[in-house]
Amino acid sequence: MLSKPYTFLFIGRSGCGKGTQAELLIKYLKTNDKRPVLYLYAGNKMRELAERKNNLTSQITKKVLLEGGKQPDFLAIWYWSNELVKKMKKDVHLVIDGSPRTAMEAEIWDETLEFYGRKNIKPIYVEVSTKWATKKLLKRKRFDDTEKRIRNRMAYFDKTVYPAIEYYKNKSRNRLIKINGEPAIEEVHKEIIKKVFND
């Protein structure tokens, strides 16, 4: 059994495999500990919101999604803060997939996790090249994975998400863990386990 609960924030380009790595980490936690795991992923919530009818927020969300743009911070924060208010418990592992996506959201996460008295906070940056991620996204054939939308997502990563990575490098007390996301899935998972639990 692990000696303490952990918080993980998975950050990376679309297509980097952060969702897959979050799933593998959850399996590892459940195998090695009895604590429950709370998993938060705003991406699916944004897609669900986009499919609602007769709702202005949904209409705008769908437009942004179809353009491959970045949803505003307030929607991501609305989702995960609402989930935390409803579901957060003291002795749980927390796995956050695809957030933060801006330096401001990273700061709000730090404030939120301090509010909950969380220790052992591990921001994990799954690093891949634009070319590698684009190839992966085109292979998965999801409806919003057109070449134009993928280009837009790569551009907003560089413009808005990368400053969140810089925030963890330079300002946050929570040390960034950088992972090479391009090797085989199991190799990436092993690197995460090593850097989180053994370093």
Where residue 145 falls among pLDDT bands split at 50, 70, 90? confident
CA-based max dimension of the chain: 51
Where residue 199 falls among pLDDT bands split at 50, 70, 90? low
Check whether 167 has a pLDDT greater than 70: yes
Domain presence at residue 28: yes
What's the CATH number where 171 sits?
3.40.50.300
Q: Which residue has the higher pLDDT, 198 or 35?
A: 35
Establish how many alpha carbons lie within 13 A of residue 176's alpha carbon, considering only the half-sphere containing its beta carbon: 20
Domain presence at residue 51: no
Domain presence at residue 60: no
Residue 51, phi then psi, degrees to nearest 5: -90, -5
Check whether 36 has a pLDDT greater than 80: yes
Domain presence at residue 129: yes
Domain count, the chain: 1
Establish how many alpha carbons lie within 13 A of residue 164's alpha carbon, considering only the half-sphere containing its beta carbon: 28
Domain presence at residue 167: yes
Cα–Cα dist 168/170, whole Å: 6
Check whether 188 has a pLDDT greater than 90: yes
Mean pLDDT within 126-155: 90
pLDDT for 113 equals 98
H helices present in 141-199, as ranges: 147-156, 162-170, 185-193
Mean pLDDT within 113-137: 96
Amino acid in the structure at residue 165: I
Helix, strand, coil percentages (3-state) for the chain, rounded to 5, are 55, 15, 30
Q: What percent of the chain is modeled with pLDDT above 90?
A: 78
Per DSSP (E only), the strands in the chain are 7-12, 37-41, 93-97, 121-127, 177-180
Stretch among 47-51, 90-94, 131-135, 156-160 having the lowest mean pLDDT: 47-51
Q: Which domain holds residue 183?
A: 7-41+91-198
Domain presence at residue 142: yes
Cα–Cα dist 135/74, whole Å: 30
This prediction's pTM? 0.91
DSSP β-bridge partners for residue 40: 96
Domain presence at residue 68: no
Residues 6 or more apart from 6 whose CB is under 8 A from it?
29, 93, 94, 120, 121, 122, 196
Span 5-32, pLDDT tens digits: 999 999 999 999 999 999 999 999 999 9
Where residue 146 falls among pLDDT bands split at 50, 70, 90? confident
Domain presence at residue 147: yes
